[in-house]
Amino acid sequence: MIRPIYLLGSEVLKRKAEPADLGTGEELKALVNDLWETLAVSEGCGLAAPQIGVSLRVAVVDGDVMADVYPYLKGFKRTFINPVIVEESQEKCEYNEGCLSVPGIYADVVRPARIKVEYYDGNLEKKVEEFDKFAARMIQHEFSHLDGVLFTDLVAPVRKKLLAKKLQRIAAGKVATRYNSKIK
């Protein structure tokens, strides 16, 4: 089911999400399906459960939408349930990020260049995987949502000050999106 994407100003986006109960099989699979369906129509490269109003530690990423810029992402799709970053590189990298919950805003964010993640996949199988480049970026962005952190919380203070009025407009609901969205 396609769900509305919650925008900046929604309380659920600022809350640390709870671990998903792996014993709720069909319910959890339905949430994962809803995330994939909602992501597909919104044309983003990742989506976390809090962005559709569900405060659980579940996220999906789809590199296919970025494959024309980053060919190595062709076919890269992951479902993350109760993910934990168990290792991150000292090396950092900076990318310009955007977010479906903060439409029309883009800003440079510094994050670790490589990460190692322990998680359950969509089949509830435990995995440990390492990611780098833009895959690591997409994943860390979605994991930030699980901790109640938006990418705009991580930008340089000067940049955040420059974005303040635009962010206030979004939080007040004065924004148009090409996908179903809401503030709650």
Kindly report, residue by residue over 87-144, the tens digit of the pLDDT.
Answer: 999 999 999 999 999 999 999 999 999 999 999 999 999 999 999 999 999 999 999 9
Neighbours of 149 (CB within 10 A): 15
> pLDDT at position 184, please?
87
Cα 46 from Cα 98, distance rounded (Å): 11
| Percent of residues, the chain, with pLDDT higher than 70 | 100
Gap between the Cα atoms of 20 and 37, Å rounded? 19
What span, in angstroms and rounded, lies between the C-alpha atoms of 63 and 65?
5
* DSSP label at residue 183: -
pLDDT tens digits, residue range 18-69?
Answer: 999 998 888 999 999 999 999 999 989 999 999 999 999 999 999 999 999 9
pTM > 0.75: yes
Is 142 considered catalytic here? yes
How far separated are the first and last CA of the chain, in Å rounded? 19
pLDDT at 2 over 90: yes
Catalytic residue among 18, 37, 97, 142: 142
